[in-house]
Chain A
Amino acid sequence: MLPFEVVFRAGEPVYEQVMYAVKRAVATGQLAAGSRFPAVRALSQELRINPNTAHKIVAALTAEGVLLVHPGIGTVVAHPAAGSVEDRAALLNEELERLVVEARRLGLDEEKVTAAVRRHWRKFPKTP
């Protein structure tokens, strides 16, 4: 059993769906910092996905600092990114722009978007 769930949707790259599921599980605290992350083989077999894709996912999550590899021990979930808040905020710039573009396209105003963001924000546990 994997410590997180992926509900696959047709038409979207498997890679992106799993990446998102892991990041979401980390954000909700379901995957706690320091906990063990499944090996490539287990990931591939449990999710019934191509081993090459599973390998790519673990490598990308490691490169992004979501996971840490301890040689001889295994892969664990990293503590939230080090560095300044500004550095981390910069990581979200692109996603935020996408959100704004999409919201404008749908004809939403600033109030509605921030209210929606707030609503989603509160679904996750408080950060220290």
Chain B
Amino acid sequence: MNAIECDNLSRSFGSVRAVRELTFTVSTGSFFALLGPNGAGKTTLLKTLRNLIRPSGGRATVLGRDSTRLDACDFRRIGYVADGQDMPDWMTVGQLNAYCRPLYPTWDRDLEGRLMTVFDLPADRPLRKLSRGMAMKAALITNLAFRPELMILDEPFSGLDPLVRDDFIQGLLELPGDDRPRTVVVSSHDIDEVERLADDVGFLADGRLLVHEPADALRGRFRTVEIVGPGLAGPSPGGPPAAWLEVGRPAENVMRLVHGAFTPASEAELGASFPGCRVTARAMSLREIFLVLARRHQTASVEEAA
């Protein structure tokens, strides 16, 4: 079962194609991290999933419903927190909770109370007098307390100090209940924030999804490889294999590359192709992998434009 299904989903603003023919799914119960640089189309995509924006082409199905048909009834099952979202800032934190409570049949008062304590929010303070981090926490409470089946978070961590961020993550981890699976979609331009949480990661650039796979699979297939030895030949006639990225020769007897299709057998294979050389493969963090992907995308775009 999929919480989200996008089929050729596109959205343009004038001549700007913010989201281009996206086809992908997010399975129910998974934590999906949507990564990409600023301006990649993350916010447009997430707003489309929450029916704040209509697609210009294709379609998105959210919790089994066409995104353009999502209504108040569906929004009782979908949480949405975005950086800088509008809030009734004349209300106090307590009034906001009281206002939201009757809107959701599934509202969990215990969870609301627990989150107020964990987040250390003053119930009697007006929202307009909250710091940015506190306002985000107030918004998160009203979206976590009804235990949504799908939680959509658009850049929730940006500008939060590490302590607030940690509270925020702790709050998110309160979400899974014992009754039914909860799906979380988080966009971020900083992978470190979600590395320990994500089941699956998507990398969006210029409105296209360049990569979409389990985080562990991605970490498994990428390695920085260093080949050191006197017997390194010049460039091979056919050029390097397609899975080799950023091949460099920092010194006469050293070759360094990023291997994008590494398997347990690769090290031995490389050893056999470079007799007399020492081959070392090092695992990469998701951050390093995404930098490689982003650089490759940039190069490809420049070549395409030329």
**A residues apposed to B, CB below 8 Å:** 8, 10-15, 41, 44-45, 47-53, 105
Contact = CB atoms under 8 A, between A and B. Distances in A.
B215 to A, nearest CB: 8
Nearest to A51: B176
B196 A14 contact: yes
Interface string B219-248: 110000000000000000000000000000
B19 interface: no
Contact of A11 (B29, B166, B219): B219
Nearest to A9: B285
Contacts, number: 48
A44 B220 CA distance: 22
Contacts of A105: 278
B283 A11 contact: yes
B29 A52 contact: yes
B169 A10 contact: no
Contact of B170 (A8, A45, A53): A45
B173 A45 contact: yes
B218 to A, nearest CB: 10
Contacts of B284: 11
A51 B175 CA distance: 10
Nearest to B289: A11
29 contacts: A10-B192, A10-B285, A10-B286, A10-B287, A11-B283, A12-B283, A13-B216, A13-B219, A13-B220, A14-B196, A15-B216, A41-B176, A44-B173, A45-B170, A45-B173, A45-B174, A48-B169, A48-B196, A48-B197, A49-B197, A50-B31, A50-B196, A50-B197, A50-B199, A51-B173, A52-B29, A52-B31, A53-B199, A105-B278
A9 B211 CA distance: 23
Given A12-B283, A13-B216, A48-B196, 16 more contacts: A10-B285, A11-B283, A11-B284, A11-B286, A11-B288, A13-B219, A15-B216, A41-B176, A45-B173, A47-B196, A48-B169, A48-B173, A49-B196, A50-B31, A51-B176, A52-B30
